[in-house]
Amino acid sequence: MKSIDTKRFALKVITSCVLFAFIVSGSLVTLATTSKPVGEILVTGVSQVGGKSVTVNGEAAKSGRTIFTSSSISTPEGMSAVINLGKAGRIQMAPGSTFVVDVNGNAINGNLTAGNVTVLSSSQSVGVRTMTGETLSLNAGETASATSGSASKAQTGPGGVNWWVWAAIIGGAAAAVILVVTLGDDDDDNITSPVR
């Protein structure tokens, strides 16, 4: 009889231990999950150095890659990226930039260790910590440089090109039209008049 009671007791102990192991390991898996996604990245340009691409946490990234808070994003020369954070805003990274983005609700902060970032839109000012140790408060249209302690207002026109470039293109086109019209070959010998 003792043998059956001992076996039942041993079975209960083993069952309790296995159940306890499942509960503990289940809670560890829940605690190890990452935070929810905060946005996506849009990549533009072609790398000037073969084989390089925009990276997120050291892994090559293409447009549409999901961004989590505390993601480290790097752009090589010739490539830029826009971090779309939904209602919180959008941030553009210039070529050769490294930025760690931190999003808490609609508040955007980050650490800029190389290059430049421009705030395209945001629901509130964006806090950017630069290599100088200062934290800049950027509003939409302002740019921060990793090596500068102050923000500058971006003066870009359509397509992200500076206004002076557009002025030079329009001025050059106008000058070409004026030259073609004034230097055109007028045939003064053949004067025609309308038929009466």
Same domain for 146 and 130? yes
Specify the pTM: 0.59
Average pLDDT over residues 168-195: 73
Please give the C-alpha separations between residue 193 and each of 116, 188, 196, in angstroms, as whole numbers.
64, 13, 9
How far is residue 26's CA from residue 9's CA, in Å, rounded to a whole number?
Answer: 26
Closest to 148 in 3D by CA, of 101, 104, 106, 94: 94
* Side chain identity at residue 5, one-letter code: D
Is residue 118 one of the residues assigned to a domain? Answer: yes
What is the predicted pLDDT for the residue at 53? 86
What is the predicted pLDDT for the residue at 29? 54
Residue 8 scores a pLDDT above 70: yes
Q: Give the residue with greater pLDDT, 29 vs 5.
A: 5
Residue-wise pLDDT for 147-162, tens only, equals: 876 665 555 555 555 6
Dihedrals phi, psi of 182, to nearest 5 degrees: -80, -30
**Alpha-helix runs per DSSP H in 77-119:** none
Average pLDDT over residues 113-122: 88
Domain that holds residue 18: 1-33
Can you read off the two tokens belonging to residue 99? Answer: 């930025």
Can you read off the two tokens belonging to residue 186? Answer: 């007028």
Which residue bears the tokens 């790398």? Answer: 47
Please, which pLDDT band fits residue 28 given cuts at 50, 70 and 90? low
Residue-wise pLDDT for 69-115, tens only, equals: 888 999 988 888 999 888 888 999 888 889 999 888 888 889 989 88
CA 194 remoteness from chain centre = 65
Question: Domains in the chain: how many in total?
Answer: 2
Same domain for 142 and 81? yes
Can you read off the two tokens belonging to residue 134? Answer: 């200062």
Same domain for 125 and 112? yes
Is residue 196 one of the residues assigned to a domain? Answer: no
Same domain for 83 and 107? yes
How far is residue 123's CA from residue 98's CA, in Å, rounded to a whole number?
Answer: 23
* Side chain identity at residue 173, one-letter code: A
